[in-house]
Structure 1
Amino acid sequence: MTTAAAFQALPSQTIPDDTPVLGGRRNLIPGVEVPLFGQAGFWPGDCLRRPANRVKSAWQVSFPADPLWNLRTRELAFGMLNSSHKILRDAGLFFRAENWGLSSVKETCNKMRLIAKWAVEQEMPHDLAAWAAEDWQDYLDHHAETSGTSTLANDVLTIRRLLDFAPLLTGGGLLEDPWPGKTAAEVADRTFTGEVSTPSIPPAIWWPLLRAAWFYIDEMAPQILERRDQQAAAWAAFEGKRRQTHRAQDTDVKLATWVQDPASLVPVHARAFRGYPAGAVMWSTLSLWLTGGVSQGVFKAGRESDRHQMRRRMVQQMVDAGRVRPVTAKDGRRAMGIVDRPVRGRNRRPDDLDAEVKKWLADPDNLIPVRRETSVHGPAGEPVWLTLEGRVFGTVTRANVFTSGTARTRQRQQWVREAITEDRTDFIEEGDLEHALRMVRAACYVFIAAFSLMRDSELQEIERKSIVQHYGSPAIASRKTKHDASRPRLKWWIIEPVAQAVAVAERLSWHDSHIFATLAPPSGFLPEGTRGRAGFDAFRDIDFFIENINKTLDRTGLEPIPEGLVRPHMFRKTMAIITAQQPDGEIALGIQLKHAARRALANRVTAGYGRMDKNWSREFDNQLELAAARKLVDLLKARRQGGPVAVGPGAAKFHAGLDKVLKTMDSDPHLQAQIADERMQVSLLRDEFAQLHFGTINHCMWQASTAECQNQLPAEQRGKQPLLGACQPGKCRNSVLTLKNAPYWIAEEGDLQDTLRRERLSPPRRESIEIRLAEVQSVTAHFATLEGDR
């Protein structure tokens, strides 16, 4: 297939080439051109509001190069973007008014390009009706070699759209479904179970990553942002002392206007001067006038560029026409009205520079910037001379006050080294300010992503002043873009540290609206009204953050972050797992993940997102064991006094376990010396009671062979975990009761006795209550022996 084939656009039988492809109910940006159907290469999305996490080159729809597949894909894309258009209704297609978004259409077109490439390579028939179901399955089999099941399911949806939009497609689409009666997931050999393919971040990475992010937000960010503000102030001061730089375009315009003015005369030497003959053009003087005193080289003869040659020709034509003004070199600038540029540091007398360096060093409050570690720029402990120059002279350009290599500069370096003390050292990180600012931006993103459960697109749409109150609690307001063409403004609840991270990101950002943006604002030479890009490549910053945290462990004292893949969408999945373990966690997740709006359909999505995976299962097992062991510490102390601390069928076994722990502590001199260390006690208790489950009315020392609850299960399901709904606290040999459980039993005993006092109870009902009361009293009678354990 040749490259030219991509431009051999075929006409559509249903859609005119001049039909706008974006319109209807969409909110178009006024004044921006809307792409037309006849544009065969790609359709830019410039007329639509672009999400902050998308660069401009990714906000467009591209089509296959093959002419037939190009037309077929454009027609399919038009149908998806205009699902209620009159052209579709005339073709007998009636879809809901809610159009597919540009992102969904872009993904469909990308998949059509893959299908087109495979079809051309396999020399498949041009007519889709001639394809057999086995042909489509062959494509899936081919694609399965490099794709997962969820990707294949999306391929099936794309293929089925060739059936859904068949009346719109020139030459027709599919005549029947290649996989009738099967869902896309089933076709992709992935029967839906509620599982989400998004991986989680392992606990070994999660915890040190969050601690490092908070360290940068809470400890490092104030210092780094203060340095940024100081540098910005220095730039502003410097800009105020010098003339603005010139742009080549502005110089050309000014020269052309000056040449066209009949009153303009070219300054030439009135007499010979320093090798220039009388009548020679005063090029440097004319250059200074055109650039406002900034540059002497806009006519420089040594430059062979077309622009410089053009300028010289324009001036020379004036000279040939006799439009000259002879002046002396001394009067040249004054004749042109040129004002001398302000004196810069590099033009100052050496004695003045020495005096200013000494004066600055004499102030003990002035900190000397020193390189923290060895790098290509210099050894550790060496002053950072350019930064120091900026602090001493209030400039941001290099004048080589300390680095020209002369005897004077070496003397100044010696003064600086002699002034360095521990109290006056300001360590500078490698990469300096931009490096540090990027670390702060990454830390804010990581922390907000982890604790808000927001998608990357929602995070990067956060704007200034986005912290609001939502039902009495702090929340972040942002835009939801996924599956919502209207981009509703929603709210995500947050905790106070997240609000602090948002405040830091807001202070860091230069953007007028968004808190996440590129580090540098747009150049002043860009067209007026250019705002610069909001958003950034989050995954690159995450990798950068982890890499640099691990490089600086010896200085920061942070934990190392193990190697592993961390991507923006994984934060949402990981926090969902953690949240789901809390009471009513699924309800909270449904609200925070924005699944609550369609609760009946979203239940399995929420549950799937919060379902435990292998990365976190052991983590929560450890946490449950530790929580149970901490509750045993008080019982262990009471048991040391020799009295009983538990009742119930399993009390003897429970006491034996506590006695074993006490014996271990008493027999080991090392442990005995740390008897007051609760962490050591917790560790021993966790090992001894690894299967202990704390409950409200009793505690279970789980052992499958003696568990009464297992009798309620089929044989093949027994022995895996306690069945709490079938627990029999007064009978099961795994059951243990302490004084923490006593109030519930005593309350039930009282309720049963009150019920029996009623006269109008049927005999069967009275008998069942009496049986239950006897069981309860067999337990409460033993609580009196535990009165000492309070």
Structure 2
Amino acid sequence: MTTAAAFQSLPSQTIPDGTPVFGGHRNLILGAEVPLFGQAGYWPGDCLRRPANRVKSAWRASFPKDPLWNLRTREVAFGMLNSSHKILRDAGLFFRAENWSLPSVRQMCDKMRLIAKWALEQKMPHDLAAWAADDWQNYLDHHALTSGTSTLANDVLTIRRLLDFAPLLTGGGLLEDPWPGKSAAEVADRTFLGELTTPSIPPAIWWPLLRAAWFYIEEMAPQILERRDQQIAAVAASTGTRRQTHHARDTDAKLAAWVQDPASLVPVHARDFRGYPAGTVMWSTLSLWLTDGISQGVFKAGRDSERHQMRRRMVQRLVDAGRVRPITAKDGRAALGDIARPARGRNRRPDELDAQVRQWLADPANRIPVRRENSPHGPVGEPVWLTLESRVFGTVTRANVFTSGTARTRQRQQWVREAITEDRTDYIEDGDLEHALRMVRAACYIFIAALTLMRDSELQEIERNSVVQHFGSPALASRKIKHDESRPLLKWWITEPVAQAVAVAEHLSWHDSHIFATLAPPSGFLPEGTRGRAGFDAFRDIDFFIENINRTLDRTGLEAIPEGLVRPHMFRKTMAIITAQQPDGEIALGIQLKHAARRALANQVTAGYGRIDQNWRKEFDNQLELAAARKLVELLKARRQGEPVAIGPGAARLHAGLDKVITTMDSDPHLQAQIADERMQVSLLRDEFAQLHFGTVNHCLWQASTAECQNQLPVEQRGKQPLLGACQPGKCRNSVLTLKNAPYWIAEEGDLRDTLRRERLSPPRRESIENRLTEVQSVTAQFATLESDL
């Protein structure tokens, strides 16, 4: 087996290292750095607009560590990102003009890492041409132990990329398809060991979840947002001090200017000091100078972010060039000039803090926040100390003025408890205001997701002022992300309650453009992208919302939400099922789901979304009704020709009902235009024969007053439902038989004749069988008439 190290220094034979990897994109952000093919670790997508529902760390393509698989994956990724690039055309590859998206490439890279790991563990040949089809199937079998069909189908697509881009790959790719003539889905279905489909949200969860979301939007949101606005105003008007911040970009700019100054010298320890050997850079001192005394950690070695590594490399270049200044720790500050010492609220004298607490409590207009209910953070009626601290001192930082555990803080707590009265109590939910705001955000997301059929990516791209008019009806405008690099602005029709939920989310959001964002604005104390971004982790908020609704049932009076998995994509599936049951539901789904179609407004994917599943069969209470109505469609077509389609005591009622449906269809021009629409026929038949029950030997039109089967029951139990096992098909006026029932009657007639041929039958037994044969023959004779008519 060839060692991977041999490929470590080999560049691609087809793609130069200096080639921009997003060169074929038409929507690059001006001025943003475009990664080059030679970057072997990962390709950041900073030059492309990042969707709101993706964090920065997820907006890049990362490659396997093995050198050969790393190169192979980068070559495939380049081909997907530049499907019409000259390099591909020179290699004889011609694909669609539209490039694959960065998320698709990222997924491919993740799959390649798994394949590379398995290949190394199994000591597979580096030459892909040496792999047999069974080797690839073995990988799928291995992955099937922990994956479902959709995951396996993506694995197949990734493996086939090695065939599609084979002329581009250094060393070559696959020579032939491991699964010729089979789609990825077929291969996955054959490989998969279980069953996995996109689930819907069960009705038992769906309805109470939507009611709870609307309760928060309609009842709770106004007070919570008012309290938030009051706190913001109080903090803004306060004379208290705030913690000073520094911005990473400002720090980087100041450092860049400093290292470019020829007079700049890096301070290093002149002698050994507290474990630091002589010559070590004085990182803390340099950090304090760059941040005006706010932070000592802008070079912190324990952080592995690119920003911290970049800063240390910039300084280390000066050290390597000999531009250092050995000094003692005592003289470290003086070496870089006067470093500011920002004032901090927590450094105020205890007497001053006491005075401000007593002054605040003396004003009866100030309301004391207390817990509305018991929680892990404290009992009911207990003050919420951190919220109180922010109100008293107008700060957003935690100084533990009431909670440090000292005698003085216990005294302050006592003053607060003595000042609590009913008229100045502000009851809040568990935790602080952020808890309540998160519940409002989750409620808005759940309600909008449930009633618009929008994807998570589309929901989190909703911007301010997005409620518009679309063909005369209110609609919500957002960007379509999936399978569309151009990200067109599309519109989803909405109802008035959804518009109200959008307005609440817009009021809640601090973000300049997006209505769904993290609760906190950007902070200078965390790496860029970790706080204060548009978008949020919706699935965490959904779980948080359900958990807290169930914990506060005694106070809110809401229904309990049963335990079960609820995820963003499941709202779309569930609402599609509900919509599909309505007239013209497939057309509505095609419009709202934004599915591309070759025929008008809907396609096979749309039908798949709307297909009812087991969770919703009972909810609609129509499983039997729909099945019965669909079986009647063929009878309706035959009846339209004027022919009898049933026999038995109830046949006249069945014929009359079918004739009524035909008359309704023929008399209504709108229905007549849809005569070929089977769904419309099923709907009319379901309404006309709501009590029809299909059986094996006959069907029941179920009318309790004429049902023979009810005679077998006690009086108090009669009239509720038919007993098909006790039916007397030849006598009951509810009974009808069609040609579908004929085989069972003909078979019974044959069995009875065979039995009567036996010589050793007792006279009573023979008489009973002869009577039954007479009944059966009267029915089978009618079937013969029915067959001749049809």
Q: Give the TM-score, by structure 2 length.
A: 0.66
After TM superposition, list the pairs within 5 Å mapping 1:552-563 onto structure 2: 552-563=552-563
In the TM superposition, what is the alpha-carbon distance from 1:368 to its structure 2 partner? 3.7
Contact 1:60 1:106 in 2 (8 A): yes
In the TM superposition, what is the alpha-carbon distance from 1:350 to its structure 2 partner? 6.7
Name stretches of at least 5 consecutive residues in structure 1 with no aligned partner.
261-289, 298-305, 325-335, 627-644, 669-683, 692-702, 719-732, 734-790
Tell me the amino acid that sits aligned with residue 163 of structure 2.
Answer: L
Structure 2 residue matching 1:554: 3-state secondary structure: helix
Structure 1 residue matching 2:146: 3-state secondary structure: coil
Counterpart of 1:711 in structure 2 is 739
Contact 2:357 2:412 in 1 (8 A): no
Counterpart of 2:641 in structure 1 is none
After TM superposition, list the pairs within 5 Å mapping 1:299-338 onto structure 2: 312-313=330-331
Contact 1:516 1:536 in 2 (8 A): yes
1:236 equivalent to 2:274? Answer: no
In the TM superposition, what is the alpha-carbon distance from 1:538 to its structure 2 partner? 0.9
1:480 equivalent to 2:480? Answer: yes
In the TM superposition, what is the alpha-carbon distance from 1:67 to its structure 2 partner? 1.9
Contact 2:91 2:167 in 1 (8 A): yes
In the TM superposition, what is the alpha-carbon distance from 1:188 to its structure 2 partner? 2.2
Contact 2:160 2:177 in 1 (8 A): yes
Separation in 2, partners of 1:340, 1:178 = 67
1:213 equivalent to 2:213? Answer: yes
CA 1:420/1:704 → structure 2, altered by over 3 Å: closer, same or farther? Answer: farther
Q: Which moved more, 1:445-454 or 1:144-153?
A: 144-153
Counterpart of 1:448 in structure 2 is 448
Structure 1 residue matching 2:218: 3-state secondary structure: helix
Tell me the amino acid that sits aligned with residue 563 of structure 1.
Answer: E
Tell me the amino acid that sits aligned with residue 554 of structure 2.
Answer: D
CA 1:706/1:349 → structure 2, altered by over 3 Å: closer, same or farther? Answer: closer
Contact 2:240 2:394 in 1 (8 A): no
Tell me the amino acid that sits aligned with residue 570 of structure 2.
Answer: M
CA 1:292/1:89 → structure 2, altered by over 3 Å: closer, same or farther? Answer: closer
1:39 equivalent to 2:68? Answer: no
Counterpart of 2:300 in structure 1 is none
Separation in 1, partners of 2:185, 2:465 = 42
Q: Deviations over 1:27-82 (max 9, x none)?
A: 11111111111112211111111111111111111222222222221111111111
Contact 1:246 1:291 in 2 (8 A): no
Counterpart of 1:357 in structure 2 is 361
Separation in 2, partners of 1:122, 1:11 = 26
Contact 1:196 1:608 in 2 (8 A): no
CA 1:388/1:64 → structure 2, altered by over 3 Å: closer, same or farther? Answer: closer
Contact 2:345 2:399 in 1 (8 A): no
Separation in 2, partners of 1:518, 1:2 = 50
Separation in 1, partners of 2:105, 2:335 = 58
Name stretches of at least 5 consecutive residues in structure 2 with no aligned partner.
262-288, 297-323, 627-652, 658-688, 692-700, 725-731, 747-778, 780-790
Q: Deviations over 1:497-521 (max 9, x none)?
A: 1111111111111111111111100
After TM superposition, list the pairs within 5 Å mapping 1:332-351 onto structure 2: 348=352
Counterpart of 1:245 in structure 2 is 244
After TM superposition, list the pairs within 5 Å mapping 1:719-734 onto structure 2: none
Contact 1:241 1:342 in 2 (8 A): no
Tell me the amino acid that sits aligned with residue 573 of structure 1.
Answer: K
Contact 2:166 2:173 in 1 (8 A): yes
Q: Deviations over 1:728-772 (max 9, x none)?
A: xxxxx9xxxxxxxxxxxxxxxxxxxxxxxxxxxxxxxxxxxxxxx
Structure 2 residue matching 1:188: 3-state secondary structure: helix
Separation in 1, partners of 2:375, 2:107 = 45
Tell me the amino acid that sits aligned with residue 185 of structure 2.
Answer: A
CA 1:566/1:115 → structure 2, altered by over 3 Å: closer, same or farther? Answer: same
In the TM superposition, what is the alpha-carbon distance from 1:615 to its structure 2 partner? 0.9
CA 1:604/1:9 → structure 2, altered by over 3 Å: closer, same or farther? Answer: farther
In the TM superposition, what is the alpha-carbon distance from 1:582 to its structure 2 partner? 0.6
Separation in 2, partners of 1:75, 1:648 = 71
In the TM superposition, what is the alpha-carbon distance from 1:196 to its structure 2 partner? 9.2
In the TM superposition, what is the alpha-carbon distance from 1:715 to its structure 2 partner? 5.9
Contact 1:234 1:396 in 2 (8 A): no
CA 1:592/1:190 → structure 2, altered by over 3 Å: closer, same or farther? Answer: farther
Contact 1:371 1:380 in 2 (8 A): yes
Counterpart of 1:10 in structure 2 is 10
Counterpart of 1:22 in structure 2 is 22
CA 1:600/1:8 → structure 2, altered by over 3 Å: closer, same or farther? Answer: farther
Structure 2 residue matching 1:474: 3-state secondary structure: strand
Separation in 2, partners of 1:147, 1:342 = 52
Q: Deviations over 1:612-647 (max 9, x none)?
A: 111111211179999xxxxxxxxxxxxxxxxxx999
Counterpart of 1:141 in structure 2 is 141
Separation in 1, partners of 2:372, 2:654 = 60
Separation in 1, partners of 2:528, 2:12 = 40
Contact 2:518 2:531 in 1 (8 A): no
Structure 1 residue matching 2:703: 3-state secondary structure: helix
Work out the percentage of aligned pairs sharing the same amino acid: 74
After TM superposition, list the pairs within 5 Å mapping 1:97-496 onto structure 2: 97-189=97-189, 197-238=197-238, 242=241, 245=244, 312-313=330-331, 348=352, 354=358, 357-358=361-362, 360-361=363-364, 367-375=367-375, 377-385=377-385, 387-388=387-388, 391=391, 417=417, 420-496=420-496
Separation in 1, partners of 2:369, 2:94 = 69
CA 1:314/1:500 → structure 2, altered by over 3 Å: closer, same or farther? Answer: same
Structure 1 residue matching 2:586: 3-state secondary structure: helix
Q: Deviations over 1:676-717 (max 9, x none)?
A: xxxxxxxx99x54899xxxxxxxxxxx999345x4379969x
Separation in 1, partners of 2:344, 2:589 = 68
Tell me the amino acid that sits aligned with residue 226 of structure 1.
Answer: E
Contact 2:617 2:623 in 1 (8 A): no
Separation in 2, partners of 1:505, 1:441 = 6
In the TM superposition, what is the alpha-carbon distance from 1:413 to its structure 2 partner? 6.4
Match 2:703 to one of 641, 649, 654 = 654
Tell me the amino acid that sits aligned with residue 120 of structure 1.
Answer: L
CA 1:233/1:293 → structure 2, altered by over 3 Å: closer, same or farther? Answer: farther
CA 1:525/1:371 → structure 2, altered by over 3 Å: closer, same or farther? Answer: closer
Contact 2:519 2:532 in 1 (8 A): no
After TM superposition, list the pairs within 5 Å mapping 1:752-771 onto structure 2: none
How big is the alpha-carbon RMSD for the aligned residues of Structure 1 and Structure 2? 5.0
Structure 1 residue matching 2:89: 3-state secondary structure: helix
1:61 equivalent to 2:110? Answer: no
Structure 2 residue matching 1:174: 3-state secondary structure: coil
Separation in 2, partners of 1:619, 1:442 = 25
Task: Count residues with an aligned counterpart.
Answer: 606
CA 1:344/1:123 → structure 2, altered by over 3 Å: closer, same or farther? Answer: closer
After TM superposition, list the pairs within 5 Å mapping 1:516-531 onto structure 2: 516-524=516-524
Q: Give the TM-score, by structure 1 length.
A: 0.66
Contact 1:6 1:64 in 2 (8 A): no
CA 1:316/1:459 → structure 2, altered by over 3 Å: closer, same or farther? Answer: closer
Separation in 1, partners of 2:50, 2:733 = 58
Q: Deviations over 1:112-149 (max 9, x none)?
A: 22222222222222222222222222222222222222
Counterpart of 1:780 in structure 2 is none
In the TM superposition, what is the alpha-carbon distance from 1:536 to its structure 2 partner? 0.8
Contact 2:242 2:395 in 1 (8 A): no
Tell me the amino acid that sits aligned with residue 711 of structure 1.
Answer: L
In the TM superposition, what is the alpha-carbon distance from 1:384 to its structure 2 partner? 3.6
Tell me the amino acid that sits aligned with residue 331 of structure 2.
Answer: R
CA 1:216/1:129 → structure 2, altered by over 3 Å: closer, same or farther? Answer: same
Contact 2:517 2:533 in 1 (8 A): yes
Counterpart of 2:580 in structure 1 is 580
Tell me the amino acid that sits aligned with residue 313 of structure 1.
Answer: D
In the TM superposition, what is the alpha-carbon distance from 1:245 to its structure 2 partner? 3.2
Structure (1 or 2) with the larger CA radius of gyration: 1
Counterpart of 1:503 in structure 2 is 503
CA 1:70/1:706 → structure 2, altered by over 3 Å: closer, same or farther? Answer: same
Contact 1:75 1:168 in 2 (8 A): yes
Counterpart of 2:279 in structure 1 is none
Separation in 2, partners of 1:312, 1:222 = 57
